[in-house]
Amino acid sequence: MAVIAPVDTTQETQAHGPSPRLKLARRANEVRRRLLARGLVRFLVLAAGDIAAIAAGQALVVWVAGALLPAATAVRSFPPAVLDYFEVAAAVLVGLVVLETYGQGDRRRDATRLIAACFLGLALIYWQPLWSLRSILLLPGYLGVVGLLASVICLERFAIDVAIERFAAVSSGAARVLLVGTPGSFASVADHPALADGRAFTIVGQHDLGRASGRAGIRGLYRAIRKHSADTLVLVGSLSDEMFATAADAASVAGCQMYALTRSFSVAGVEPRVVWQRGAPLVQLNRPTLQWQQLAVKRTIDLLAAGVGLVVLAPLFAVVAVAVKLSSPGPVFFRQERVGLGGQLFRIVKFRSMVSDAEQLLDTLRGQSIYQDGRLFKVRNDPRVTRVGAFLRRTSLDELPQLWNVLVGDMSLVGPRPPLPTEVARYEEHHYARFDVKPGITGPWQASGRNSITDFEEVVRLETEYIRDWSLGKDLVILFRTIPVVLTGRGAH
């Protein structure tokens, strides 16, 4: 009986050299180690920053509980565990891990996700007391601690991003990207916002999958990955199912990450979000306005901040009211009709900074406006402003009564500034985007230098961009950017 000798594949491989697939597979572990190291460095940097931020925030909580609140109130508002740094740090870090804030992309700076992580983490500490009869007394303390720690962590994550942008070398530690697509699909990819800055991704090459099909196409992609030492594949353009399968197989063999680059939606002014429906992904395109979840978060913060602000600032209100009353005849408060959310009219409240007949003198000053556009009006060294009013305007103290507008729901802390009806009468169609959200006491225009921006179209662009890209972190950034603008009086008239 004849015996069939086995084929010596080793000799065949040695004779012809290892296949491109085997060559690629041999470096897969190196690629995986590189990706793991990159993720580990990201986690350690963010975790170290979070630990420091939690320490600072918890120290503020302890100081508030010990120095500002009566002992009985502190005991009712804060469980003992909240005053223990290690318990607070462990709880918040658990929340940050569960909400996946240490991963790739924008999740690490998503303020809504960071706040949710603080809510979740601190709920571990507050869980039992909140279910007791003391829950009503504990709830303000719980929300206050969440707000304080979330604010500190948002600022810390923002500071890390700024530090990386300023000091990290471009391409240092960035993923090495091989673009995979068809002819004509690579032209505009370099300017895509996800790939442009060179710190998260560095484009090292491109491979045309349409050049060859079948086994030749697969081998060509294997060689391209090896040639460029790529650890990430980014698919661009319209790929057939066969091309997509080829790229997915190559990424799996090489241990590479794989992304599919969608078209840019900035021209259409929409915000894409992936929604899963029956196991299939859909890209939901949201118009530049806030969703109901975002509006709920924003309104909650507005209520808390306005309520606390009106109580804490009550003594200052009294001092300013006396100064206004003594400076010139007339009421303490100035009320004026403005246009708000959805074009609805409301009456804004400010400390009076002008003489009582200022409205009657307005027409005589229109030609002196610093703006060359009738949709904006401001006069340098306005003769209607009183001496006390000039100080109030320079320090923005005249704006404080608008906290009442925030409390009753006419305004928000941050948003577009509310215009006069006479200014709105001159608007063009695209300008009405300003009314998609509530107007704010401060906003992107004010944070950029108040009246130093004199182009109305630039004002609308800033505010529309703010609405489209809204996040709680952006509101915090605008609030903190407004502080030096107010302190230095930059752009004030």
pTM: 0.53
The CATH number of the domain holding residue 182 is 3.40.50.10700
Distance CA 493, CA 489 (A): 9
Domain enclosing residue 345, as ranges: 292-359+366-488
Q: Sign of dihedral through CA atoms 291, 292, 297, 302?
A: positive
Decide if pLDDT at 450 tops 80: no
Are residue 430 and residue 471 in the same domain, yes or no?
Answer: yes
What's the pLDDT at 333? 94
- CB contact at 8 A, 53 and 151: no
Pick the closest to residue 171 from 202, 194, 196 (CA basis): 202
CB 31 within 8 A of CB 231: yes
pLDDT higher for 320 or 367? 320
Token pair recorded at residue 461? 């662009």
DSSP string, 384-440: TB-HHHHHHHHHTGGGTTHHHHHHHTS-EEESPPPPPHHHHTT--GGGGGGGGS--E
211: in domain? yes
The answer to whether residues 321 and 404 belong to one domain is: yes
State phi, psi for 282 to the nearest 5 degrees: -120, 145
130 in a structural domain: yes
**Most confidently modeled of 165-169, 293-297, 325-329?**
325-329
Instruction: Report the pLDDT value the prediction gives residue 457, as an integer from 0 to 100.
Output: 83
Same structural domain for residues 253 and 332?
no
Q: Is residue 222 located within the same domain as residue 79?
A: no
Q: Are residues 347 and 467 in the same domain?
A: yes
Domain boundary among 222, 249, 264: 264
Helix, coil or strand: residue 356: coil
The amino acid present at 142, given as its one-letter code, is Y
Mean of pLDDT values over 434-462: 80
Residues 260 and 392 in one domain: no
Task: Evaluate whether residue 22 is within a structural domain.
Answer: no
**Does a structural domain hold residue 131?**
yes
Say yes or no: 160 and 208 in one domain: no
Checking if the pLDDT of 439 tops 80, the result is: yes
Residue listed under structure tokens 């942008």: 165
Instruction: Return the pLDDT at 436.
Output: 86
Into how many domains does the chain fold? 3
Per-residue model confidence (pLDDT) at position 8: 40
Of 290 and 295, the structure prediction assigns the larger pLDDT to: 295
18 located within any domain: no
Evaluate whether 350 touches 399 at the Cβ level (below 8 Å): yes
pLDDT digits (tens, 9 = 90+) for 207-221: 888 766 667 777 888
Average pLDDT over residues 377-383: 69
Residues 247 and 306 in one domain: no
Q: 257 - beta bridge partners?
A: 232
As a whole number of angstroms, the distance between CA 347 and CA 358 comes to 17
Does 221 share its domain with 303? no
Residues 246 and 106 reside in one and the same domain: no
Question: H or E element: which one contains 257?
Answer: strand 257-260
Give the end of a domain, one of 138, 167, 196: 167
- Which of 2-6, 150-154, 445-449 reaches the highest mean pLDDT? 150-154
Which of helix, strand or coil describes residue 140?
helix
Instruction: Determine, yes or no, domain membership for 281.
Output: no
371 band by pLDDT with thresholds 50, 70 and 90: low
Q: Which residue has the higher pLDDT, 486 or 406?
A: 406
Residue 239 lies in a domain: yes
Q: Is residue 162 located within the same domain as residue 57?
A: yes
Domain boundary among 133, 167, 201: 167
Distances (CA, A) of 313 to 59, 87, 333, 397, 401: 24, 33, 16, 11, 10
According to the per-residue pLDDT averaged within each range, which of 136-150, 406-420, 432-446 is highest?
406-420
Are residues 384 and 299 both part of a single domain?
A: yes
Is residue 5, in this structure, part of any structural domain at all?
no
